[in-house]
Structure 1
Amino acid sequence: MVIKVVKGNPTPEELAAALAVVRARAAAAAAAPPSAAPRAPAAWSAPSRVAARRLPRPGPGAWGRTYWPG
Structure 2
Amino acid sequence: KQAYGNDLVLHGGINAVLWENPEAIEEEMRKVIPVVKENGGYIFSSDHSVPSSVGFEDFRRITSLAKVLGNYQ
Specify which structure has the higher proportion of strand.
Answer: 2
- TM-score when scaled to structure 1? 0.32
- TM-score when scaled to structure 2? 0.31
Which of the pair has more CA radius of gyration?
1
RCO comparison, higher one (Cα < 8 Å, 6+): 2
